[in-house]
Every structure is written in C-alpha cells, then in structure tokens.
Amino acid sequence: MQKYASSFSRDFAASLVVFLVAMPLCLGIAIASGVPVAMGLISGVIGGIVVGFLAGSPLQVTGPAAGLAVIVFGFVQEYGIAMLGPVLVLAGIIQIAAGFLRMGSWFRSISPAVVHGMLTGIGILIILGQIHVLMGSAPAAHATDNIAAMDESVSRVLGDTVSSETLALLIGLISLLAMLGWEKMRPTSLALVPGALIGVGAGTVLTALMNLPIPRVEVPDSIFSSIALPTVENFARMTEPGLIVAAVVIAIIASAETLLSAAAVDRMHDGERTRLNKELFAQGVGNGLCGVLGGLPITGVIVRSSANVQAGARTRASTIMHGIWILALIAALPGLLGLVPLTALAAVLLVTGWRLIGIHHVRELLTNHGFFPVAIWVATVVMVVTHDLLVGVGIGLALSLVEVLPWLVRRFSIRRTEQGDAIRLGLDGAATCRSVPAMLETLENLPEGRKVCLDGQKLNYMDHTSAETICEWVRRETRAGRPVEVLAPQQSDPRIGRIFARLSSETA
C-alpha cells in the first residue's frame, strides 16, 4: 500500500510539471499550425487522457508536436481546416492497422540520418515562420516566402513610429530572454519549473499591465463549442489522392516521431520498456479521436516526456493527470489563456525549433559512420526546407537505400547459444536497416539480468541504422546493470572497427 501511495505522489507531482510544460506548447503549436488554439488544447487533452490510458510506453507523454505543425500549416492553406478531421481519422486507422500488423519495429528501421534531417528541416521551417510572429506579422506557407517577406516584417518594426509590431517584438524578445535566462540560472529548488512557462508568463504580465495593443490568443468561451464534427461531405472528399497522401504522410511521420521519442525516453529510465505496437495502436486511437473532435495530430513528444521522467514519474498516471489538468484549466479559466500574447508563444517555438536542429547529430554521424550518412542528412534537410517534408524524407530514404543496396541481398542472421548463465549472440553476414526488426525482436526478448556476449567475428558489414540500434540497446542494458561482452571482427573494414570500439566503450 505504501508503495502505491509513494508512486501516486510522484506521479501527481510530475503531472503538474508536465502540465506547465504542455500548456504553452499546445497553444504555440496551434498558432504555428495556422489553426485556432482550441484545436491544440483538444489534442492536449486527448493525448493525455485517452492515449495515456492505452499507451505502450509507461512514461512517454503525447500531445500536439512541433514536428507536425509545418505539415498541418501547409495542409490547411491548401485544403482548409474542415478537411483536417477526416484526414486525421484515416491517419489514425493507418496507425491502428500498423500496430495490429506489428510494424512498430519497422519504423525503427528508418535511417537516423533521415530522421534527424527531417527534424532539422522542420526546426528551420518553424524558425523562419515564427520570426514573423515574433515581430507581430503573419507567417507564410513556404520557407522561400518567409525569407522573401523578411524585409517587409523588419520595415514595420523599424518604422518612424513605435508600431504594434515594434511592441510585439519587444515583448517577444523579453519572453525569449526570460525563458533562456531562467533555464541557465534557475535555482536548484525550482529546477522543475519550465523555462517556457517563465517566458510566456513574463510576456503575458507585461502585456496585461501595460495594456499593449498586440495580438493575443483567441480562446472561445467554452472549449466544447469548438468541437467541430466532420460532415459526410468532408468524408466524401477522402477519395482525392492529395488527401490520402496527406493522411499517409501524417501517419508515417507521427509514428516515426513517436517511436523515436519512445526510444529516447526508454534510455532515461530503467523501468518498463515501450511496447512499440501497443504504442502505435494508442497513437492511432488518439489521432482518430482528434480527427472526430476537431483537434490537431498528436505524437509522443520528447520535451514533455523528458520533463515527466525528470520530475520523477513512475507510471502512466502522470500522463493521464496532466491531460485532466489541461481540461480543468480550459473549462474553468479560459479567459486566462486569452491574456497570452502571440509573440510570447513565438519565442517558445523559436527555442523549440532551434533544439530540433541538433547539429551534434551530424558530428556523431561523421565521427562514427563517415561521410555518406552526413550527405543523406544534408540532402534531407535541404529538400524539406526548399520543397516539402514528403519530398525531403523520400529523397533521404532513397539515398539511405543506395548506401546499403549492394548489401541488401546478403544474408544476416543471429545465432543464439547458451553458455552456462550467459547468452551468446553471433552476428553473421551483413546487418542493414532490413535487419533491424529481427535484431530488435531478439535483443528485447532476452531474459533480464543474464550476461550477453555479442559476437561480431563473422560480421562483414553493418550500416549506421543497425549500428545505432545495437549501440542504443547496449547503452541501455549496461546502465541497467546487465553484463555485456563484445567480440569485434578480427578482420574488417575500419568502419566496423569503429562501431565495435563504441560498443566496447559502452560496456566499460
């Protein structure tokens, strides 16, 4: 009984922290998506309560994500808000089917260079758009348009008189500095108070005290009045190829981002591992419900999830309660949200976009895997920014296949033998992205606590996707206390040598 009471108290405290992190993001991502903020709040509630109950990841937090804001913004510009609901319903069905078909591991087969390139491109797009919002202007749909309109936005700020755009920029910069300053210098006793809350709070208080004439969040009197059920006519349009493609893209990107986040969250704690296919099913139910009730697409979000782990959460109860707190706030005090200036939310999203860029991933790719994965990353980023996300990811996936094409037809097997209390896994042949599902199934189904020997003496090739998969597993298991021994190939190319040197360093 005492154990459950302790767990609940930790989950309760963590849920409040996650709630404070999630609120500015729900509002800001809705603004970045070009839709009413109520849609972001609806998704925050569904992601917390519904997905929280069904989730396969015990500590991951789900909600509207910056990674999908760019997709939604372009979609709404082309098809309108009314068609987002049916598209999300179809995307949810695709995710549910993927869960039942046990395709969770296949999403982990996507090249890390493509995933990080996609996130970097999205981060750049968010920054280019939110710079305009920071200056009190409206963002355009495409990166080139945002760059072209930069002179016009700057000229409004630097005019002869103090305009509303000038005031908006001032409040935005104060919010940005407050957020970054708090994260650098916050006292230890207040370590769990998020910087985003401080930044938005500072901008909101100044705007309200000085009654500044700058754009603020528009919140309906009742969140329930914002629920817009899709019509039969909307669903009838789902035969259009562009809408089907949009649903598939949202399903794939949301699933990949969710499972990438889940893998990162699993590395942060030593408790229950994510059940990938159950998590896909839960995300599909959540996205389908968001489509029915008029919300934004949702994914597992690393920012909220890491806050949840760091705040000491023990079970998925913290995720569920954070959704309840969002619902309680928008039901009881919607007017409070109407005080928030848009430029303060833009400051939060600028920091979010910058953190998505992650240049350190490029250094890791170059150091550990050579030039070609870096070229894949660069190509993905450039095409996402200059064309669109689908083209960028498609080019990145094509290039990642080119890299391993000569090896795809080669055999790969894992030979498992018992040696007393130890388990020996012999890696034989060419390990590529195609091998990742089988590799994960073998590794994650090993009995807990027993020593594992990874024998790569008969391995003659390993691409960066399979290498990162094994490195993540070794890092997590050794931190949890499992003894892991690594046997490198005696004669191999320098690349495999570097990979096994990394594995050996993880076990040291």
Per-residue pLDDT of the chain in tens (508 residues, 90 and over written 9): 444 556 788 888 888 888 988 888 888 899 889 898 889 999 999 999 999 999 888 889 999 988 788 889 989 989 999 999 999 999 999 999 999 998 887 877 888 888 888 888 888 988 998 899 899 888 877 888 888 888 888 888 887 677 888 999 999 999 999 999 998 988 888 877 888 889 999 999 999 999 989 988 887 776 666 677 888 899 999 999 999 999 999 998 899 888 878 877 876 776 777 888 999 999 999 999 999 999 999 999 877 888 888 878 888 899 999 999 999 988 887 788 888 898 998 998 898 888 888 788 888 888 777 888 899 999 999 998 888 777 888 898 899 888 888 887 788 888 888 877 888 888 888 888 888 888 888 888 888 878 888 888 888 888 888 888 888 888 878 887 888 888 887 766 677 777 877 777 777 6
According to DSSP, the residues that pair with 498 across neighbouring strands are: none
Listed residue (300, 270, 318) closest to 11, CA to CA? 318
> What residues contact residue 224 under an 8 Å CB cut-off, 6+ apart?
none
Q: Is domain 412-507 given the CATH code 3.30.750.24 in the classification?
A: yes
Q: Is 0.85 surpassed by the pTM of this model? A: no
Q: What does each C-alpha distance from 203 to 69, 133, 450 come to in angstroms?
A: 23, 14, 54
Residues of the chain with CATH 3.30.750.24: 412-507
Residue 487: its H or E element: strand 484-487
Q: What does each C-alpha distance from 190 to 9, 193, 202, 231 come to in angstroms?
A: 18, 6, 17, 47
- Other residues' Cβ atoms within 10 Å of the Cβ of residue 248: 15
Rounded to 10 deg, the angle between the 302-310 and 317-332 helix axes is 110
Under 8 Å between Cβ of 348 and 24: yes
Sheet holding 484-487, edge to edge: 412-419, 422-431, 452-462, 484-487
What secondary structure letter does DSSP report for 216?
Answer: B
